[in-house]
Amino acid sequence: MTIPADLQALFLNENEIPAEFQIKAPVCQSEFLINGELREWDGPAQEVFSPVYLQTASGLAPKYLGSYPLLSTEIVLEALNAAVKAYNNGKGTWPTMPVAERIHSMQEFAYRMKAEKAEVVKLLMWEIGKSYQDSAKEFDRTVDYICAT
């Protein structure tokens, strides 16, 4: 399919994207969490591309954002079983932790999450094609929800 020149001219080269909105390096997730332990995954991964197309030397192409593990059924079931065991029918560490400690844990999580706001907002923009303002609002809404509940 040939794209008319006037339409193709609407797409930017990556170097025309303002620096504060550029993805400096792909986010290639190779770890997963089971039972409080981060494990390395050396199996297949799903590549993630932006719905935003850019001008490249070979024509228009979506921006490569990174990848995430395509865990095996065995690993997924292990994670599920670890979560069920940790919950322990409502008698696990988290559900029986005093409310003040749970609140403190969630506040700490929200605090650390806020430190990553610029990167998360940028990824939202590239992953789902939202504007900067809408991506920032989504991030803020999420943090507000965490803090309110």
Residue 18: half-sphere exposure toward Cβ, Cα within 13 Å: 5
Instruction: Pick the closest to residue 43 from 13, 73, 22, 15 (CA basis).
Output: 73
52 and 126 in contact (C-beta within 8 Å)?
Answer: yes
Q: How many whole angstroms separate alpha carbon 65 and alpha carbon 86? A: 33
* Residues in CB range of 111: below 8 A, 6 or more apart: none
Structure tokens at 87: 């919950």
User: Rounded to whole angstroms, what are the CA distances from 10 to 2, 15, 57, 87?
Assistant: 15, 14, 15, 52
Q: What digits encode the pLDDT tens for the residues 113-141?
A: 999 999 999 999 999 999 999 999 999 99
Q: How confident is the model at residue 104 (pLDDT cuts 50, 70, 90)?
A: very high
- The Cα–Cα gap between 116 and 109 comes to 11
Give mean pLDDT, residues 49-74. 96
